[in-house]
Structure 1
Amino acid sequence: MADNELDPAFDLAEPPALTSPLFFNSPHSGRIYPKAFLRASRLDATTLRRSEDAFVDQLLEGVARTGTPLMSARFPRAYLDVNREPYELDPRMFEGRLPNFVNTRSLRVAGGLGTIARVVGEAQEIYAARLPVDEALGRIEELYKPYHRTLRRMLNKIHRQFGAALLVDCHSMPSSSLARDERPRADIVLGDRYGTSCGAAIMDCADLTLRGLGYGVARNKPYAGGFITEHYGNPSAGFHVIQVEINRALYMDERQFGLLPSFGRLAQDLLALRDALAALPFGGLESFSAAAE
C-alpha cells in the first residue's frame, strides 16, 4: 500500500489469556482513507464516511479490557468490505477482465455493495473512472485475505480451548435509510440468519439483556447478518455468530460525525452484554437446534 497507510490493515487486541469463548469484531469501523483512494473518488471524505460504522471499535474498547479478543479493520468499508465474499465484484467498475471465478451476479453486487463498493449513501457513485482490475485484486490479497485468516485463527483458537466459540460481529446503522422511511428504527437489531448462525439461547440472552437495559430490540429485520455471520456460524460444530447492529443516533451526531454524551452509557451497556453472553453454558449450546428460534 502506498506510504504504508494501511499497515497494519487491522487491529487485534488479543489478551494473554482467554477468559471466555467470546470474540468481538468490528469490520466496518475503519477510518483511514488512503490518499490514492480519495483522489480516485468523485466524492468528498465526509460523503464517503456514510458507509462507515463510525466509532464502533471505540464503543468496544471496554470489552477488550475484559480478556475478550477484539478485532477491528483500519481500512474503510467504502475501500474494501470484508463482510462480503472475497470476490463479489461488479465488472462495470473495472478496466480489464475479471477472473472467471468472480461472483458478478450477487444481489449485493447489483446494489453496488460488493467486496469493493460502487456506491455509498443513497446510491452515490464513488469512483470518477474505472479501476484497474489489478487494483481490486490487490486489495483483496493485501487486506481481505489477511483479515479473514486472522479471524479464522482466533475462532479456532477459542474453540480449541473452550469447545465452542461465539463471534459477536458489531455494526452500526443509520437512524433512517431513506426520507420516506417514517418508522423509527429499533435501537439495536440482532441477526442470526434466522436461527442458523448461533444457538437460540445466545439470541435470547442478547435480546433479554438489551431490553432489560432499556433498548428497543428487533431480530433479523432489516439486518439478518452478512457474509461473516453466514460463513462462520456453524452451531452444530460449536461455532456461533451473532450480528449486532447499533442505531447511530444512540451515540453520535450522524451529520457532524461527533460523539454524543450518551456514548459512555452505551459502551457500558455493551460491556454488560458481553458479561451476560460470557455467562452462558457454552458446553451445551452445540446441541441447540438451529430451528429452535
Structure 2
Amino acid sequence: MPLLIDTLSEPAFEIVEPGRTVAPVIFNSPHSGARYPASFLASTRLDPLSLRRSEDAFVDELFLSAVNSGAPLMRAHFPRAFLDVNREPYELDPRMFEGRLPPNANTRSLRVAGGLGTIARIVGDAQEIYDRRLPVEEAIQRIETLYKPYHQMLGRLLARTHARFGSVILVDCHSMPSLGASKEERNRADIVLGDRYGTSCASAVLDMAEVCLRGLGFSVARNRPYAGGYITEHYGAPAAGAHTLQVEINRGLYMDEKRHEKTAGFSVLSEQLAIFVEQLIAFAGAEMLVRRAAAE
C-alpha cells in the first residue's frame, strides 16, 4: 500500500549522494514515488492499487547501487499520478480544470490528448482518476511547489557535474508494462533504450549501454515504443557535452504487476543492473580522461 503523507511536511524528492563522485554520470528516477498525499486519495475515484499502476515501481531501488559506485541518484517520492515531472511544466488538459489555464499552457500535445499530461487524467487502461474537475489553482500549486523545485534541483546537479567534469551523462530510469496494447508490442524487449532518435546523447553512449545490457543477457530495443520524454528531450544536448539516455525496464522481470509486489527476479535484476551501472561509470570516466588528454 502507498504511504499517506502531507507533501509539505516530508521531502517530496531527494538526491542520494555518493561518498565521492567518480565520474560524470547521474541517475534519475522521476516516476518511482509512492507517497500519496491523503488529500489526493480523497479526491480520486480509484482505489490505491489502481493508482499505483502508473508508478515505475521500485525503479529507484533497482538503481540504488549507483550511489555505492560513485554516482548520485535523484528520485521523486510523490507519485506520477499526482504530478508528472517528465512532461512540460504546463502540459495540461483544459477539460480537467475549472478556471482558465495559464496562457503558456500546452493543451494540444499528444500526451495531453492521451490523458497523460503534467497532471494526468488517467492511469492504467484509461481509468479516469477524478470524478470531478479540479480547480486550476490546484494544478498551478502542484507545479509551483513540486515540479519547478524538482527541475531546479536536477538542473543544478547537472550543471555542477558538467562544470566539474566537462560533460555529463543523465540516465533517466523508468519501467514499462510487460505487455503492450497492440499486437506489435505484445512481446516487448527486456529493456528499451531511448535517445530521442539520436538527438539526446552521443551514439557511443547508446552503443555502450546496448552492448553491456545484451552481454548481461537482456533483449534490448532502441526508441520503440519509448524514445524518451520531456527529461530526455530537455536535458539532452550532446554537442554541449550533455547526454541523456532513457532506460525502460520490463516490469515482468522483477515484479508481480497485478499485486504490485517484488518477485524473486528483483534481486537478480538488481545485481545485473549494478554491473551495468559500474560499466557505464567506467565508460564515462575513461571518456573524460580521453577528452582531457586531447585538450592538453
Coarse TM-score class (shorter-chain normalised):
over 0.9
Alpha-carbon distance in structure 2 between the residues aligned to 1:66 and 1:33: 30
Give 1:78 shift. 0.5
Partner SS state of residue 35, structure 2? coil
Match of 2:22 among 19, 25, 31: 19
Task: Check if 1:272 corresponds to 2:278.
Answer: no
Alpha-carbon distance in structure 1 between the residues aligned to 2:227 and 2:128: 26
Alignment of 1:1-293 (within 5 A): 3-4=6-7, 7-178=10-181, 183-280=186-283, 281-283=286-288
TM-score, L = length of structure 2: 0.93
Give 1:180 shift. 5.1
Q: Which residue of the partner structure matches residue 288 of structure 1? A: none
Which residue identity does 2:280 align to in structure 1? L
Alpha-carbon distance in structure 1 between the residues aligned to 2:181 and 2:31: 21
Which residue identity does 1:167 align to in structure 2? L
What is the percent sequence identity of the aligned residues?
61
Alpha-carbon distance in structure 2 between the residues aligned to 1:82 and 1:54: 16
Alpha-carbon distance in structure 1 between the residues aligned to 2:260 and 2:273: 21
1:258–1:187 distance in 2 versus 1, CA, 3 Å: same
Alpha-carbon distance in structure 2 between the residues aligned to 1:236 and 1:185: 32
Alpha-carbon distance in structure 2 between the residues aligned to 1:146 and 1:3: 17
Give 1:179 shift. 7.3
1:220–1:179 distance in 2 versus 1, CA, 3 Å: closer
Alpha-carbon distance in structure 2 between the residues aligned to 1:199 and 1:5: 39
CA offset digits 1:130-156 (Å, max 9, x no partner): 001110000001100111011111111
1:116–1:236 distance in 2 versus 1, CA, 3 Å: same
- On the 8 A contact 1:5/1:34 being kept in 2, the answer is no
- The answer for unaligned runs of 5 or more in structure 1 is 286-293
Runs of 4 or more, structure 1, over 6 Å off, are: none
Give 1:39 shift. 1.1
Cα RMSD for the two superposed structures: 1.8
- On the 8 A contact 1:6/1:32 being kept in 2, the answer is no
Q: Which residue of the partner structure matches residue 290 of structure 1? A: none
- The answer for unaligned runs of 5 or more in structure 2 is 292-296
CA offset digits 1:31-80 (Å, max 9, x no partner): 01111111111111111111100000111121112221001100000000
Alpha-carbon distance in structure 2 between the residues aligned to 1:181 and 1:219: 15
Alpha-carbon distance in structure 1 between the residues aligned to 2:115 and 2:252: 25
Alpha-carbon distance in structure 2 between the residues aligned to 1:182 and 1:67: 36
Give 1:11 shift. 1.9
Which residue identity does 1:195 align to in structure 2? G
1:251–1:5 distance in 2 versus 1, CA, 3 Å: farther
Q: Which moved more, 1:125-134 or 1:173-182?
A: 173-182
Partner SS state of residue 247, structure 2? strand
CA offset digits 1:214-257 (Å, max 9, x no partner): 00000000000000000000001000000000000000000111
Partner SS state of residue 279, structure 1? helix
Which residue identity does 1:282 align to in structure 2? E
Alpha-carbon distance in structure 1 between the residues aligned to 2:269 and 2:150: 27
Alpha-carbon distance in structure 2 between the residues aligned to 1:80 and 1:219: 27
Give 1:260 shift. 1.0
Alpha-carbon distance in structure 2 between the residues aligned to 1:185 and 1:94: 35
